[in-house]
Structure 1
């Protein structure tokens, strides 16, 4: 093989090596670009409000309230009063919430009698100025409750405090009075569903 052929072969090897290095660099850059594109895309989604890349997370609520004021914390105290033969109480005595944050409290009631009773809960608030800012989304006080003999119920209240609540209000007390409504209570010996005309 002549010197010219050797030089040609050597030049071709060098050229191939240079091309291979360039291809490797291009492959690494493409991989890096593809890898780095995911966080960039997530940032774009967050900025534009598009949420295509949402991953499943059971701890996150499906609806978020963008008007939560996390710079403030309000203490909500819970109270219960009864006018009737039952046990009525909140499951917790207080909780801290941010204005605008959706929260849930559960009240428990037990009819201590051996007959059915209809009841109604009436809420009140302290301080009184907080009334307009305490927003109930779901509440057992919206309608009368029927409790069977010795029946126990757990009744939720879903609420939030309006962020417009005056800054000087740091604590709100939610109090319910639970009382019997309508009809005369039946004694233990009376049959509620007795058909007319039949002997007892």
Structure 2
């Protein structure tokens, strides 16, 4: 009889553990968002932007651009310039250059981040290479645009933003198709 009781007790504990793990999985996203906000990391850009704004010619904001590769990425990847001085409300563009130096086609995905993270909601990308996966053939080099607007409602104490991209090799999960000569 005691074996039956201990088995039931073990099953109850295991089921409780499964429920707790399931609840923790749902709680991870809000916990992550709170931690990012608290520590000022991994700022996500604002949602899709379709509005128009008048340009604030009196105000200037410096937008710095960074490009890094994930540890397994072999591509060359950099912005055409280190920074732009922009006016809130104006549409701006920066080109990023990617080069596949390998002898095989590769697929990549860029993940953006904005610092300071509190200002990320005021940074609107209207076009970005990060919206789609990039496929480069061996030796291919491309220029990839990002078009953006810094919102006029950006807090007045923010005068410098950094837009960073990390480029990941996703070839294993999304194998590219090699182009054949025509």
Shift of 1:71: 1.5
Return the match for 2:127 from 138, 144, 153: 138
Return the match for 1:77 from 40, 64, 74: 64
Partner of 1:100: 89
Taking the aligned partners of 2:163 and 2:53, their CA distance within structure 1 comes to 25
Residues 122 and 151, structure 2, Cα contact 8 Å, conserved in 1 = yes
TM-score for the superposition, normalised by structure 1: 0.59
Partner of 2:149: 160
Residues 136 and 66 (structure 1), Cα distance of their counterparts in 2 relative to 1, 3 Å cut: closer
Taking the aligned partners of 2:163 and 2:133, their CA distance within structure 1 comes to 19
Residues 107 and 174, structure 2, Cα contact 8 Å, conserved in 1 = no
Which consecutive unaligned segments of at least 5 residues does structure 1 have? 1-64, 187-191, 194-200
Poorly superposed stretches of 4+, deviation over 2 Å: none
Shift of 1:182: 3.9
Partner of 2:170: 181
TM-score for the superposition, normalised by structure 2: 0.65
Kindly indicate whether structure 1 or structure 2 has the higher relative contact order, using CA contacts under 8 Å at least 6 residues apart: 2
Residues 82 and 177, structure 1, Cα contact 8 Å, conserved in 2 = yes
Task: Show the 5 A alignment for 1:1-200.
Answer: 67-83=54-70, 84-183=73-172
Residue-by-residue CA offset, 1:79-126 (whole Å, 9 max, x unaligned): 000120110000000010000011110000001110000100000011
Taking the aligned partners of 2:150 and 2:174, their CA distance within structure 1 comes to 38
Q: Secondary structure at the match of 1:166?
A: coil
Residues 115 and 185, structure 1, Cα contact 8 Å, conserved in 2 = no
Shift of 1:67: 1.1
